[in-house]
Structure 1
Amino acid sequence: SKLCVSLKDDKDNRKPRLAMASSFVAFSLVDYSGCADSLQHPRGARARIDREALCGQSASCVLPLQVVVENPLQLHRIEVEIKDVNDNAPIFLKSEHVIEIAESTVVGVNFPLQSAEDPDVGSNTVKTYTLSKDECFTLKVREIDNGRKTPELVLNKSLDREKKAVHNLILTALDGGNPVKSGISKIRIKVLDVNDNVPSFDSKLYKIFVQENSPNGSFVITTKATDIDDGPNSEIEYSLGIHTPPSVVALFHIDPMSGDVLLKNNLDYEQQSSYRIDITAKDKGFPTMEGRCSVQIDVLDLNDNAPEIVLTSKPSSVPEDSSIGTVVALLSVRDPDSGKNGEVTLYLPKGSPFTLKPSFSNNFALVTCGTLDRESVSEYNIEITATDAGSPPLSSKKMIPVSITDVNDNPPVFSQSSYNVYLKENGVAGSILYSVSANDPDAGENAKVSYSIVDSKVHDVSVSSYVYVNSENGSIFSMHSFDYEKVKVFRVQVEAKDQGSPSLSSNATVHVFILDQNDNAPAVIYPSPHAASHLRVPRSAKAGHLLTKVTAVDADSGHNAWISYKGAEATDASLFTIKLYTGEVRTKRTVYEHDDSSQRLIVEVKDDGEPVQSATGTLLSEPVLELRHKASEPSKKGGRITLYLIVTLASVSVLSLLTLLVLGVKCVKSSTSGATCCVRRTLSDDDKKPNRNLHIQLNTDGPIKYVEVLGGDVMSQSHSFRSCMSPMSEYSDFTLVKPSSTTDFKEVISVLDASLPDSTWTFESQQVRATLVCTQAQLAALHLLGIHTFSLLLFNS
C-alpha cells in the first residue's frame, strides 16, 4: 500500500494544514492503497503547515519522520514531501519606488525596478510583471539566474521635464497560481537633468568561500565599480541592496568608500551554508545613478559539532535467560556537520554483554550478545560513545541503564551440607533442637524459601513423629522427650524449596545425637535383687579367700555406667572386704571358730553419674564344716568322667585312622591316571578361608566364667559350644550348656539363677557342677575337632 499525506487549506487562513505526529511536526498518516489527491484525517489537522516557514524557497521540501512500533520493537523511516500551494501573493518590499531620470537620458535606457517576492515556489511564484500605460515608458522583464525574473523600466521616448516633470506608474507582479495572485508597487519618476551614466561593476556576480569559524571583522571580498562621468557624478558610494534580508545585514557589512565586504558576526554552517548579497554602487551626480552586482558567499564547514545520541525508545528490562540477539533499546545518532565531519561511529565498552546492530540511516538497535546473570550483575549502565570522522574528531557519550530481571535458576543453598545436633535425653517436648538456614541468591518469589522434613524411618517409625520444622525460618523442634536407652542417634533430612516456577530445592542432613543422662540406677544381677543370697563360708578360709562376686549392670553409658561396689552394712565389718570395681567379696582375715556362724552383708552399688544412682544387694552366709570330707565325693565322679574322656579319645583316634586310610586309597587310584592327589588338587577360595579352624574364646564377664568353642563345617555352617564355669571353680572343668549359633549372656545367667537356688549354691555343689560342665565341654570340643578334621580330609581328597 502507498503512504499518503493529505493537505487541505484552512478555512480561515486559507493555508494548507497538515496533521503532525512528531515532536516538531504533527501530521496524519492514512494507509490507503489508491491515494487520492485530497485525503483528510477524520479528526482534522491539529497544527498548521507552512511550507515557506519550514523549507523557505527550497525547490524540495521533505520532512524525515521516524515511526516506532512496539511488540516487536521496530523503527521505520517515513519521508513526507510538502507540496506548495498558491497561498502567498507577490509582495514588494516598498509600496512606492521613486526614480529620478535625467532628461538627457537617451531612449532605450533601462531602469531596474524592485522585484516582487513570493515565498511560493514553482509555478506559484512570480511569473510576470505588468506596467500601467505611459507613452514614455515600457516594461521589460529580464530573467536572471535560477529562473528569477526582474522588471526593468525602459525609456521609450525622450523625456521633457518642462512638459512633464513627474511620471506616476503602477507596477503589478503576477504569480502563476490558480487563481492568480498579484501585488502592486507605485513608481514615481522624477525627470532630472545632467548625470546620465550609471556606475558599472567589474563583474555582475562575485563568488567567495568563507570558513565558518572566521572571526568578527574578517575581510570577505572587495567589489569594484566605475563611472565614466567626471567630477561628482563619478564619485561612487557602495551599499547593500535595498532588498537585502535582515539576517544578511546582521552578518555582513560593506565599506561605503572601498566596497570591501566584512564579516560582522559569527557564521554557522549548520544554520545556513550559503548567502547571496546584492551590492549597490551609487554615484554623486545629480540625479544619482547606481549600478548593481551580487556576491555569492559559500560557508565552509568545520567539525564544530559533537555527535548526538538520541534514544528512540525507552530501554526495557531484560530477563537473565534472554537469548542472544534480544533487542534492549533503539537509538539513533546525528551530527549536523557535513562530509567526514558528519560520519559517526559508535563504541561500546569491552566485555559488555551487549552490542549495537545497525539498522538504517544512523539508526541502531542495542541487543544482547552474551550470557546474562542477575546474581552477578543486576543492572548495567551501558556507556555508548559516538565519535565523528572529523579532524580533530569530536565525541559524546550516552549512558543507557538496563536492568536484568530475575528467573529462578538457583536452588536454595544450605550453609552446611550436614549438621550435628547434640540433645540431652529427657528433654521437654516442643523445645527447639536446631535452626537450619538456606540462602537463595535469586530475587522476589524466587528467593522465598520454605522448609520441610523429608519423610524417612527411625526404628520403623516416621521421623516426622520425632521432630517437626518451622516452614518459614527452618527451626527444628522436638515432638516429645527422647530416651537415650531407646534412641541414641537418628537422622533428619530437611528440604529447602523456593517459591519460583518451577521451584528448585536442596537438602541438608541433620544428625541428632542423644546425650545420655544418669537416669538409670545400677541393676544388681547377682545376688538376686528379689531375695537375699546365701553363701557358705569355709571355717578354714584364709585372708583374701574369694567368697563370691557381686555383679551389677547399668543401662546408661560412659561415666554414668561406671559401677563401683562398697559394703554398706555388715554383721562383722572386719570379716569381709569388697573390691571397689570388680565386686569380688573376699575374706578380710582368717575365719575363726568363734566367728558368728550367720553373717549378713549388704553391698551398695553406685554409678559415676551426676546425680549418683545406687542399688543394694544382700548376702547371708554360714560357715562350712568338714570341707575336705565333702570335697572328696566329687573325685569319684571325676574318675568316671575321666573314663568317658579316654573312650572318646580312642574313638576319635580310630576315626582319624579310617580317614587316613580312605585318603590313601584315593591317592593310589589317582596315581594310576598319571598324577597324585596332591598334584591334582587346586586350592579354592573356600580352602583359604579360616572358618574351618577351631576357635576357643575365654570370657570372664560377670560372676559366670564361660568358654566359646567355634568351628565351621565344609558347608560353612558354624557351630557354637558355650561352656560356663562357676565363680567358685578352681579347676579347669567345663560344662556344655547349649550348642547354638549364639547364646545370650543374660539367658545363661537367668537359667543358672533359676536352676540353682541360693540355698544349694554351696561350695560342694559348685565343685560337682563345675566338674560336669567342664568335662562335657571337653567332650564337645573333641567331638567337634574330630568332625572338623574328618570333613577337611574328605573334602581335600
Structure 2
Amino acid sequence: MMIGPVPLLLLLPILPRPASAALLARGANGEAFGEPAGAPEEDGKVLRRSRRGWMWNHFFLLEEYTGTDYQYVGKLHSDMDKEDGSVRYVLSGEGAGTLFVIDENSGDLHATKRLDREEKAYYSLRAQAVNKRTGQPLEPETEFIIKIHDINDNEPKFTKDVYTATVAEMSDVGTFVVKVNATDADDATYGNSARLVFSILQGQPYFSVEPNTGEIRTALPNMDRETREHYQVVIQAKDMAGQMGGLSGTTTVNITLTDVNDSPPRFPHSSYHLSVPESAEIGSTVGRIKANDGDVGVNAETRYSIVDGDGREAFAIATDRETQEGVITVRKHLDYESKRLYTLKVEASNTHLDRRFLHLGPFKDTAVVKVSVLDVDESPVFGRWSYIFEVQEDKPVGSTIGVVSAWDPDVADHPIRYSIDRHTDLDRLFNISSENGSIWTLQPLDREMSKWHNISVVATESSNPQQISRVPVFIKVLDINDNAPEFAMFYETFVCENVKAGQLIQTISAVDTDEPLIGHKFVFTLSAINPNFTVLDNEGNVSMQPFYF
C-alpha cells in the first residue's frame, strides 16, 4: 500500500513586503506553511506587524505512484486570494503542463504521470498568482523545486554476472580471494534503500564474504587441489541493510585452487618387467614407466635416473617433458646368448621443491625394473671379416686353396651352408663345399692373366634361408717360372762394309712375364757360331753385339 506524499517543506523568509501580497504553500497533508498575520494579545493589546510573504523551497513526491488518479503534490495559495474567483494560478518550468498541472482556481498541484527518481531526481518550476480580469501579476514569480522522493524499487546489481578467481591450495584461513562489487540505483542519501549487505548463499564452509566490503576469503584450512580443484560460490547483495523486505541480487564466483608442490611423485608399482630384442639398436626405446604426481605444471616435473642395478651400463633413462614419463633406452649392443636379464633400480624425483611442504616428502620414489633380452634369429657369423688365400698358378684343377668358417650365434646353433656369389665369379674359376666351406679350383689359374681373384662367399642358415651373411675372399695367384724370355722387339741390324773390329753395332734386350717384372738376369749367346760377330753379355737385361773382322 503506497503512503501518500508528505511534503517536508523548507520555508525561507524573504524581505518584508506590503501586506497586500504573500504566496503561501500548503503541502499534500493540508498543512499551511507561512507566518500568521498577527501575534497574540499582550496586556490586552493586539500587536500588529506587517504580513511577510513566504516562499517554499521543496515539495517532496514519492516516485512510482501506482494510483489511477493524478498524484496530489500540494497546494499553492496567495494571501491576495480572497477566494472570490478573481485569482488565477499559473505554473511554468520543467514539466509544467505535461508532468505537472495546477488547478488555476484552487492552486492545487498534481503530477500526471508516474515518476522515476532514477530517471530524474527533481524538477524546478515557477508559480505566480495573477488577476483573472486584468491578467496582471499579483506578486512576483516564485521558483520552487519538486524533489522525487526515493522508494526501494531497485535491486542491487553486481558489476559482473560471473567472477573468476584463483587462490593457492593449502592457503591459510582468511586468505583474500577476490572482491565483488554491487551497486543500487536507489538514493544512497535517503534511508537504507541503497545500503547493501553481502552474504554467501553457496560455497560454505570453504569460503566466506565480508558483509560490508564484498571481499571473499578462504574459510577452511588446508584445502587440497588434488582432492577438489573448482568451486562455485554464489554471493548475494541485499539492500535495506540486509533487513527483511529488502531487494537482492546475486552473482556467481568461480574459484579455482592453484597448485603448489605438496604431492611427492609415487610409482604405482614397486617393480616393472620390460623386454627388448637383442637386435635393438643403440638409442632405441625399451619401454616407459611413470611416477604419478598429483601436482600439475612445474610442480609435477619429474627427473628419472638409474641409481643401482647390473643394467646401468646397458641402459639409460631420460624424462619425456611432455608426458613426464621415464623413457628407458638401449645404451650398448645386447646379446641374448651372453646375458638374458638385467635389473635396474630407477628413482623419480621432483625438480622444483617448495620449502613450505618439505615435511610432506620425501619428494622422490624408487622402483625396480627388470629387462629381459629376447632371442632373435641372427645371421651366421664368419670367423673373420675377410679371408686371404694364396695358390700357385700351376696347381691342378680341384686343388683346395682355403677354408672359410661361419656359425649360427643363436642358442639353437643351426647348421650353415656355404655358396659362392656367382656375380663375383663369372668365369666359374672356383667352387666351395656347402658343408665345410672349403674352396677349390674349377679351372687352371694363370698369374699372367690375373694375379688376384676377389669372390664373395655366402653363409646361409639351413633352417631359415632368409638369414644370410657374406664375407669377401681374396685369392692371390703365386707365380712359377713358366714363361721363356722374349726379345723386347724385332731387331734388324745393318753394318757398314768398312766397320772396324770391336765396334758396337746393336744393343738388344729381353723381357720375361714371370716375376719379378723388373730385375730379371738373362744370358745372351749366339745360337749359331759366326766368326764375324760376337756377343758381349753385360749381366743385365741388355746385351751388346760388337763386330769383328
Greater share of helix residues, 1 or 2?
A: 1
Instruction: Identify the TM-score tier after normalising by the shorter chain.
Output: 0.3 to 0.5
TM-score when normalising by structure 1:
0.34
Q: TM-score, normalised by structure 2?
A: 0.48
Greater share of residues in strand: 2
